[in-house]
Amino acid sequence: MEHSPLFLAQSLLRCPSVTPEEGGALAFIEGVLKEAGFEVHRQVFSEPGTPDVENLYARFGRGEPYLLFAGHTDVVPPGDVDRWTHDPFSGEIQGGELYGRGAVDMKGGIACMMAAALDFIRNNPAFKGSIGFLITGDEEGPAVNGTVKLLEWAKDRGERFDHCILGEPTNPNQLGDMIKIGRRGSLTGRIVVEGKQGHVAYPHLADNPIPGMLRLISGLLSRPLDHGTEHFDASNLEVTTLDVGNPASNVIPAEARATFNIRFNDRWTPQSLEEEIDRRLREAAGNTVRYRLSMDPTNAVAFLTPPNAFVSFIADAIEAETGIQPKLSTTGGTSDARFIVKDCPVVEFGLVGQTMHQIDERVPVADLDRLTGIYRKVLDAYFAATS
């Protein structure tokens, strides 16, 4: 079977694996890896209220060190397919670019990982160590029946990882721009201010909750949560909704509701952040504003892989392949790296993310070759340094 990154990427793009459907993507990966000598397992996990999700775990070798490649084959829906230049699941090439849903997020990255690993194994059949793949079908969905449970399953089998590369599209403009060595956490809170409904002409018979809500929001935003840390920007709180559900201009509403989200750095845990929010609201409310605060459960905690030899392997490989010295970053949203970091250091590096989740998502074919070259150089350096 052909193992070029383009062939592998096209084959994956032709699998309609919209979350939570497997769509044939994991079956294709299984066939390729089994042919190359990997031990492959496909696991389906379930949880009440969420769709069943199929996942894949594969390993070549039993020795140490163990380098794990991680990613996801599930993709977001393509939207209006008539607006695409090519069918989103056709894997067509035009102008040197490969089109398809998941081209950069992140079937293209998985194809490059596979191509690099297979080439390394062909040329180093007796290397001392292990290479693995941890591929979920639940990253774009609830993230309940995917990476978390697959990691638990692997650990129950006695699997232990030394380092991991997650192939999310990390580069903002060109391949080589950025490595993600951490991610901010995410915490959502909801505030309800209680009032009393009434006629606007008789305010003494009512209690308008809106001024109280404005006081609370001002209390939350009156000063920064922090000023950043060594590797993270300042934590950021954004009010995302403010509602009273009142269609009438002559009625004082009974309550006001607001939602906010915080992207927080490694100075905070969800618990310590919740305590700070509660303190600020109590201070702003005084004895006059009646309110309720609730915080959504979160599994998105800030994490960091400090710059070390592993990060240097990746940075050096990127510079050797592209001529660019990558920035070490912790920006952006959350990813499955937040689960993997509990088991081993994890670094994210993949393709350019400018078209991810968009109509006509696409990747330059040349970037597939370059990313494969980067992963291949990482494998050489990693196993040479630890042999």
Phi, psi of 384 (to 5 degrees): -70, -40
User: What is the SS3 string spanning the chain?
Assistant: CCCCHHHHHHHHHCCCCECCCCCCHHHHHHHHHHHCCCEEEEEEEEECCEEEEEEEEEEECCCCCEEEEEEECCECCCCCHHHCCCCCCCCCEECCEEECCCCCCCHHHHHHHHHHHHHHHHHCCCCCCEEEEEEECCCCCCCCCCHHHHHHHHHHCCCCCCEEEECCCCECCCCCCEEECEECEEEEEEEEEECECEECCCHHHCECCHHHHHHHHHHHHCCCCCCCCCCCCCCEEEEEEEECCCCCCCEECCEEEEEEEEEECCCCCHHHHHHHHHHHHHHHHCCCCCEEEEECCCCCCCEECCCCHHHHHHHHHHHHHHCCCCEEECCCCCCCHHHHCCCCCEEECCCECCCCCCCCCEEEHHHHHHHHHHHHHHHHHHHHHCC
- In angstroms, the CA 3 to CA 316 distance is 25
Identified catalytic residue from 119, 139, 140, 361: 139
Residue 384's contacts (CB-CB under 8 Å, 6 or more residues apart) are none
- CB-based contact 17:74 (threshold 8 Å): yes
- CB-based contact 150:297 (threshold 8 Å): no
**Residue 139 is among the residues annotated as catalytic for this protein:** yes
**Residue 92 is among the residues annotated as catalytic for this protein:** no
Cis peptide before 106 (omega within 30 of 0): yes
Token pair 């940075």 is found at: 315
Identified catalytic residue from 74, 92, 168, 348: 74
Please work out, in degrees rounded to the nearest 5, the angle formed at the alpha carbon of residue 184 by the alpha carbons of 266 and 316.
90
For the annotated catalytic residues, the residue numbers are: 74, 139
